[in-house]
Amino acid sequence: MALEVVLITGMSGSGKSVALHALEDAGYYCVDNLPPELLGPLTQLEPGRYGHKVAVAMDARSPKGLPLLPEQLTALKARGAVVHSIFLDASTGTLVRRFSETRRRHPLSRQDTDGARLALVQTIEDERELLAPLRESAHVIDTSNLRSAQLQSYVKSLISVPPGQMTLVFQSFGFKHGLPVDADYVFDVRMLPNPYYEQELRPLTGMDQPVMDYLRQSPDVQRMQAHIIQFLDHWLDMLNQNHRSYVTVAIGCTGGQHRSVYLVEQLANHYLGQWTTLRRHREMDQRRH
């Protein structure tokens, strides 16, 4: 059985402990805050000690070792290991609020007092710059608007994807709740007919048949769907050839309930036979959890 390694990196305060907990529940041997220099030795231990599933969390507290990670991950893949690399991110405002609410100091902070908000913001931006190379080579999850249960569900769905093929992640969201920072492509569909203004459709979602029928009969909705497919068809093969593991396509409407949900479902179904696909509905998933 091939060794499976999940590497969790990301911003301090973005939810790495929550993600590790989800992986521990899924049967992974989990190590938090492992120095990057020890990733190779850990995975070379007798597999019987931890099984064939290992999850490791790393962050900016080991800055000198972080540049070693790409080479170590390449070496693991050369040994036949299945590697999932996940980067957790969140907006600077969200991270500031989380540190303020928990009264924790940022791991990279040099402040000895609770100190200034500006100092925390600068520390977060410094960390973001330090981790940028890791972010570019991983699948990014924006945790700004995610509950813990949502994040755990998203992580488990990612590790269930068969290795070796690029995965398309289609995500609906509401612009009024903020733009997702994990999207590779964002399509704004707020100009399309809105079922919210139809009294009988307002409480429903884009996965309910009456809403689907309403949107399907609109030429503009069909034209938008066709244009998105045309765009993706043009670039997906090239992205795959560029060794991209995941591509996140975000579809946004006003509230993230009707139009964006409908189009995510249609697009995910369209590509189901061509690519591995995942679908997320940020605002609806938040209500469910």
pLDDT mean over 44-62: 79
pLDDT digits (tens, 9 = 90+) for 193-226: 999 999 999 999 999 999 999 999 999 999 999 9
Percent of the chain at pLDDT exceeding 70 = 94
Crossing angle of helices 209-216/219-241, nearest 10°?
90
- Check whether 15 has a pLDDT greater than 60: yes
Q: Which residue has the higher pLDDT, 64 or 282?
A: 282
Would you state the structure tokens that stand for residue 11, as one six-digit string? 């911003």
What lies within 8 Å, CB to CB, of 112 at 6+ separation is none
Say whether pLDDT at 115 is over 60. no
Number of DSSP helices (H) and strands (E) in the chain, helices first:
10, 9
pTM over 0.85: no
Give residue 48's pLDDT band: very low, low, confident or very high (50, 70, 90): low
Write the CB contacts of 162 (distance below 8 Å, at least 6 apart in sequence). 276
pLDDT at 109 > cutoff 80: no
- Mean of the per-residue pLDDT values for the chain? 90
Beta bridge partners of 171: 250, 280
pLDDT value for 47: 61
Task: Report the half-sphere exposure of 63 (CA within 13 A, side-chain side).
Answer: 9
Question: Quick one: pLDDT at residue 42?
Answer: 86
| pLDDT at 267 (0 to 100) | 98
Classify each residue of 144-166 as buried b or exposed e, where b means 16 or more C-beta atoms within 10 Å of its C-beta. bbbeeebbbbbbeebbebeeeeb
> Quick one: pLDDT at residue 100?
85
187 forms beta bridges with 251
Residue 114 confidence (pLDDT) above 60:
no
Distance between CA atoms of residues 180 and 146, nearest Å? 11
Average pLDDT for residues 39-56, to the nearest whole number? 79
